[in-house]
Structure 1
């Protein structure tokens, strides 16, 4: 491998032509600025000079000042950056790098893609350093590594305030659709009609605690919800069972589906008719996207890692934990109440 190849392989992904095209469009059109600002920030640009020019354009735009080659040059000069970006001559050359400002959003996406690739490389370096330093336990290092990658994959497009007028139209359309459906549900139905009427179903991102005294049916209630969501709605469900084995969970769900008492399944005391119902129920449950993890004393770090992996592989609509008190926070706490509070926050 020659020297030129080694140098080339170490250059992070970038597209200077796309960066120049974006900046040129922003110098020509305020509409282009409005489009680009929702896709990029200054960190998206590879060249420092381009980052400085972008920031100067945005500062003028946000202050309501005119944005053109003269105003940007003057602004950069006041900041002492005009010479470092290439001077007035380089700014003038940017105007020749864009055929039409209408392509600004397309070229901005090219710049964004290159920026994400650079972030992935940086993330890989950070993960390598975490592994080599060995300052934490392996599960902690794995969780930190997943968080680093997750932060890159969840990179969002920048978004400004939404006018209430626009959102009201969206709300009106949503209400109109729901009125045609004649449904009181706004989330995932649990299968318990009265509960769904009060709550509108299980809402995404909600953290819900089912509380009650021992042997009051908390586990049965949660498994019935998992059954309804997985079997009837065909939505992916993760069940973390810290008390029962996966075999016991599967048997309880089979009992509910077949309508056969749980104790009869445990001892195998079944009639021929019940055997036929068992076979039919197994076929039904086998097609449901329900996933069970029965790892005892699982930590928040492990659970989060497993949930992320399942989400990336098949999707995830509902997570059930049975039950919270059996989880480990992975940290030393003064008492169990503080530990449960930490688990809930994490």
Structure 2
């Protein structure tokens, strides 16, 4: 036997001993705790062996399985190396995988090239890789949940009376496991670039005019490319400018366009009044007629038709006026986990509380709420719109220039800092009776992290509290004069009859 052969056999023996030692360490650690964490080494080997035999199998499991999900450390190293080869579009077999592991100086760690051959020898069929992958991922989730439970218990023993903060911490940790965030906290730039290109390809395949969730207003969507996951969007204005009306139009259009739920937290207006506004806007019926009992039969017919069109939209309203950031986070996480989300709206930010605990100053509390909303938008990968009040500075400025500026945001500079987009609503007719812009609303984009600052002009019909596209170009990207209810696909066809005015 030559020196080279002897050296190879020695390396193989050392590698196998290292693998046995790693397994022994796992068993010893589990025994020390008195219990063995749930795992399935056969399922782990089946996944890896199948990928070696049939590279296409990787695409069936990579969306549900991460390297950290493997109980045996060597299996996690193998899977990570397979992902690296796939990212470079290189074949995955015993030879290429061994070379990749050798380059990473991890070949001996996993048991040597001989172990790679053993993985494929045990595979009877490659048809069940997805099921095997889910077994591995599910057990990893259980193990992570056990770890989180220990962390929560340890944290609980150290708490000193702040139960709300502790509950928020516990809910966040549990939600993190349910979303499998633990496996993707740190990712290489290579992965981020691939994900970015996947999004670009999806936009091109869909042929959409914008990449985000549409607001329903053509000029606004052109400037912003829609609303994107992770964004915190501030819509601010002085009272009576139409903040709630604009956001209700956006909410309805987003629900219609995506088919996914929209959460609307109304801290100022009860849900029945919001529903009345939306129905009157859609039916083009003056709201004052509802309050003064002056509805005609035609009005009732229009309102009933509007209700039939609107009632199936996946919009969920929370009108509990005493809402904290902790409670909002909990409700949003629950909806995201159960039914997904397309948009979250808060009307309005200054009425929220950071927690039930009294804070040193209102400015600090608003700062905490602002940071919390931005963090939640990133966590859930959902756009969040928060309405905001402005201070009186604009109204005290001399002359006719009353258009708001970023400095007019009320109570905290943190809002401007945290927001990805800041929009102001301005209607000149509120201040200037003789203006030529009667019925015109300006949506001023004063800040946009990834786009231009500019102004979109919309039509505002005050008696209907309704915003519409100003220029009516029916062939321009499918936008119609009245987006909600004005699109052919949203004609109420197939919806059950609904008479909202009949006795309950």
User: TM-score, with normalisation over the residues of structure 1?
Assistant: 0.71
DSSP 3-state at the match of 1:261: coil
Gaps of 5+ in 1: 1-6
Map of 1:27-38 to 2, 5 A cutoff? none
Counterpart check, 1:271 vs 2:296: yes
What residue is the counterpart of 2:478 in the other structure?
none
Structure 1 residues 137 and 97: alpha-carbon distance in aligned structure 2, compared to 1, 3 A threshold: same
Alignment correspondent of 1:99: 121
Q: Distance in 2 between matches of 1:23 and 1:283?
A: 53
Corresponding residue number in structure 1 for 2:315: 290
Tell me the SS of whatever aligns to 2:237. Answer: coil
SS at match of 1:13: coil
Question: 1:219 maps to what in 2?
Answer: 244
How far the C-alpha of 1:108 sits from its partner, in A, is 5.8
Does residue 362 of structure 2 align to residue 336 of structure 1? Answer: yes
Q: Which moved more, 1:100-109 or 1:138-147?
A: 100-109
Q: Give how far 1:280 is off.
A: 2.0
Confirm whether residue 202 of structure 1 aligns to residue 224 of structure 2.
no
Give distance in 2, aligned partners of 1:321 and 1:109. Answer: 37
- Contact kept? 1:23, 1:54, Cα under 8 Å: no
Which of 140, 152, 163 aligns to 1:115? It is: 140
Residues 71, 238 of structure 1: CA spacing in aligned structure 2 closer, same or farther, 3 A cutoff?
Answer: closer
1:301 & 1:195 partners in 2: Cα distance? 32
Residue 51 (1) aligns with residue 73 (2):
yes
State the Cα RMSD in Å: 4.6
Q: CA 1:119–1:57 in 2, change beyond 3 Å: closer, same or farther?
A: closer
- Do the aligned partners of 1:25 and 1:100 also contact (CA within 8 Å) in 2? no
CA displacement at 1:336 relative to structure 2: 2.1
Greater helix fraction, Structure 1 or Structure 2:
1
Counterpart Cα distance in 1 of 2:106 and 2:272: 69
Distance in structure 1 (CA, Å) of the matches to 2:360 and 2:75: 53
Per-residue CA distance 1:271-309 (angstroms, 9 max, x = gap): 121122222222222212111111123111100111122
* Corresponding residue of 1:146: 171
What secondary structure sits across from 2:233 in the alignment? coil
Shift of 1:316: 1.6
1-structure distance, mates of 2:211, 2:140: 37
Match of 1:312 in 2: 337
With over 3 angstroms needed to count, the CA separation of the structure-2 counterparts of 1:21 and 1:319, relative to structure 1, is closer
Question: CA 1:128–1:286 in 2, change beyond 3 Å: closer, same or farther?
Answer: farther
The answer for the alignment partner of 2:371 in structure 1 is: 345
Q: In the aligned structure 2, how far is the partner of 1:340 from the partner of 1:175?
A: 39
Matched with 1:3 is none
Instruction: Look up the SS of the partner of 1:292 in the other structure.
Output: strand
Compared CA separation, residues 199 and 279, structure 1 to 2 (3 A): same
- CA deviations 1:109-162 (Å, max 9, x no partner) are 543332222112333454566677774544433322221121112225666515
1:327 and 2:349 aligned: no
> How many positions carry a matched residue from both structures?
319
Q: Is the 8 A contact 1:21 1:94 kept in 2?
A: no
Q: Could you tell me whether the CA contact under 8 Å between 2:237 and 2:243 is conserved in 1?
A: yes
Contact 1:20 1:94 in 2 (8 A): no
| Contact kept? 2:50, 2:129, Cα under 8 Å | no
